[in-house]
A and B are shown apart, each in its own frame.
Chain A
Amino acid sequence: MLQSCYLAFKYITFHRGRSLVLIFSLGIIIYLPNGLKRLIHESETQIIVRAKTTPLIVGAKGSATDLVINTLYFKREKIENIPMRSMKKIQSLDFGIVIPFACMYAARGFPIVATDLEYFNFRSLTIQRGRQIAYVGECVLGSAVAERLNVDVGDSLITDSENFFDLAGVYPLKMNVVGVLKPSASHDDQAIFVDIKTNWVIMGLGHGHEDLTNNYDQSIVIARDSGGIHAGAKLYLYNSISTENMDSFHFHGEIDDFPLSSFIVIPKDHKAETILRGRFASGEFEQQMVVPEQIVNIWLESIFRIKQIFDSMFLLVGLATTLILILIVTLTLRLRKHEIYTMYTIGSSRLKIVEILSFEMIMLICVSLVFAGVLYSLTGIFVDRFINQFIL
């Protein structure tokens, strides 16, 4: 048997190009259905777990799916904003914990999630390096963001421009990185967290500028009256918030009118949840309240129906592959007719020849399985990318 193994090994290594093509093809054929199955299963699990752990979301009326996708997976869907007032109203009813949420901007491609410290407790997110957000203009990075952008505590991040041609629009804000979160194997790893007020600064609702009362450049001042000092476009607006200019930052307008994307409600008990849902269902509030698990289940059901198509396709591909493999083996035997005849003439039994050929097949299949296994284990790495690109 050892000798058959040796001869099989010599054949495979000598015809390494041919063997590699076979190993690659077999490996891919073995991997594809299993890898995709794992990818879909893990995506499904990851999406559902996040939805299950989020009891209720309140947002503007419209697409419930978009609302859930925005709040749970930080996709910047075009959802209508709701005023801060609506959150305060629910908060005052004391049915549980209410967490503000806004996901409207991005920095270097990663979503900026504006919330408050309660969000971190709710998601069990802890700081790995640095500290929590304490001031406006500070941010804490998800572990994947820190790794991919190679940014750490003490560095800064500039928000992405929304529209280059809108001169009156949002100016990029330079945010100070004060902490990096521990990996949580969730979408939180891929977000940049800021205080909700920072989001309003990015929006332009709050800003900081030179102190006009002590300003010596009179060309900035347009008028001084009882209403205050009116400045022109020459007035320098700070694009970053530091301890030196922090006091100059202020908001214009009523905070209660300032926008949120949504807010998360964690009812204190089942009764509170039932009452709250009932009141929303009765139309007492202008917003809609959704149970993320229900929305995600309906949504996944339709998305993963495509899996059934994949399954039947793989069955056909598997059948075709088996036929091709049989053809390859038959053609190989025909090509190696002289070699087989030589062995037989010299004194090899038919069984021995079958043994040698079988060892070749076994070796090729084993290496293909290892290759497929490596691909399969690598699949886990791509789950997040798969969810982001193909599901969300």
Chain B
Amino acid sequence: MIRLTDISFGYPNADFRLQFDELSFDTGTKTAIIGPSGFGKTTLLNLISGIYLPQLGKITIDEKNLNSLSESERRSFRLLNIGFVFQDFKLLDYLTSMDNILLPYRINKVLKLNNEARKQAAKMASMLHIENKLSKYPQKLSQGERQRVAICRALIHDPSIILADEPTGNLDPENREIIMKILFEYVNHKGSTLVTVTHDHELLPEFDRIVDFKKIYKNS
């Protein structure tokens, strides 16, 4: 379970401040975060992942207090437990799809890159129907294929939490449907927690819970 309590977070030299009393996400649930731009939805995902720490308040994930962890511990925790899916995919242009999928293994010693990992990547690519695109560079892929590679990268290490920041924002309706289906199937199958920031209201019925950020936002 992810729990954020009495949160207050602001960026240095910026007027913006994200403040709320309580927000929690049960394990295995699919939550959609909606709300106007500039309300701190992406910041929330960064707080959950431990990239940022709130100036005030407490963040716990499965009873683990993120505030008490060092930066390196938070990084390892993020790498092992959280999968990120971005709106603009954030694939590295100089790596092939396979190398992009295996990127988490190459940038941190916590994950060991071995044949098992490679097989897992190939299996996942096959599940997402991009098995014949593994040697291709991102520029040679369609938008939908790029997002599938990004999803593979997010899920390759079997995370218990998936944070998706407008994952369908750059996709056509057909691909949007496919991508969300993949994410939901994965979450249902693995029992992972999915927190998705979205502006796409057509998708909302698919989620277990919808959090309207405008309503929880506490203006200081």
- Give the interface of A toward B (CB within 8 A): 3-4, 6-7, 10-11, 13-15, 338-339, 341-349, 352, 356
Contact = CB atoms under 8 A, between A and B. Distances in A.
A335 to B, nearest CB: 11
A11 B92 CA distance: 9
A352 B94 contact: no
A341 to B, nearest CB: 8
Residue from A6, A13, A339, A347 whose CB has the most chain B CB atoms within 10 Å: A347
B75 A349 contact: yes
B115 interface: no
Interface string B99-125: 100011111101001000000000000
A3 B113 contact: yes
Contact of A339 (B76, B92, B113, B153): B92
A13 B49 CA distance: 33
Given A3-B113, A338-B90, A346 B95 contact: no
22 contacts: A3-B106, A10-B95, A13-B94, A342-B90, A342-B92, A343-B107, A344-B51, A345-B84, A345-B90, A346-B78, A346-B84, A346-B103, A346-B104, A346-B153, A347-B107, A347-B108, A348-B107, A348-B108, A349-B72, A349-B75, A352-B107, A356-B107
B197 interface: no
A-B residue pairs, 3 tightest by C-beta:
A347-B79, A14-B94, A348-B107
A15 B104 contact: no
B84 A349 contact: no
A6 B106 contact: yes
Contacts of B113: 3
Contacts of A347: 75-76, 78-79, 104, 107-108, 110
Given A342-B92, A345-B49, A349-B108, 9 more contacts: A10-B99, A11-B94, A14-B93, A338-B90, A345-B51, A346-B84, A346-B153, A347-B79, A352-B107
B128 to A, nearest CB: 18
Contacts of B92: 339, 342
Interface residues of B, number: 25
Contacts of B110: 347
A7 to B, nearest CB: 6
A250 to B, nearest CB: 81
Nearest to A355: B107
Contacts, number: 56
Contact of A7 (B76, B79, B84, B106): B106
B107 A15 contact: no
Nearest to B163: A345
Interface in B23-82: 49, 51, 72, 75-76, 78-79
Interface string B141-184: 00000000000010000000000000000000000000000000
A356 B107 CA distance: 9
Nearest to B108: A347
Contacts of A13: 94
A11 B49 CA distance: 28
Contacts of B93: 14
A352 B75 CA distance: 12
Nearest to B153: A346
Contacts of A348: 75, 107-108
Contacts of B72: 349
Contacts of A356: 107
B89 to A, nearest CB: 9
Nearest to B111: A347
A3 B107 contact: yes
A352 B108 contact: yes
A346 B94 contact: no
Contacts of B49: 345
B129 to A, nearest CB: 23
A10 B94 contact: yes
A15 B92 CA distance: 12
A11 B103 CA distance: 13
Nearest to B71: A349
Contacts of B79: 346-347
A7 B107 CA distance: 9
A320 B51 CA distance: 39
A4 B109 CA distance: 11
Contacts of B78: 346-347
B106 to A, nearest CB: 4
B170 to A, nearest CB: 14
A358 to B, nearest CB: 14
A14 B95 CA distance: 8
Nearest to A338: B90
B165 to A, nearest CB: 10
A338 B86 CA distance: 12
Nearest to A10: B94
Contacts of A11: 94
Residue from A4, A341, A345, A349 whose CB has the most chain B CB atoms within 10 Å: A345
B119 to A, nearest CB: 18
Nearest to A11: B94
Nearest to B75: A347
Nearest to A356: B107
Nearest to B89: A342
A3 B112 CA distance: 11
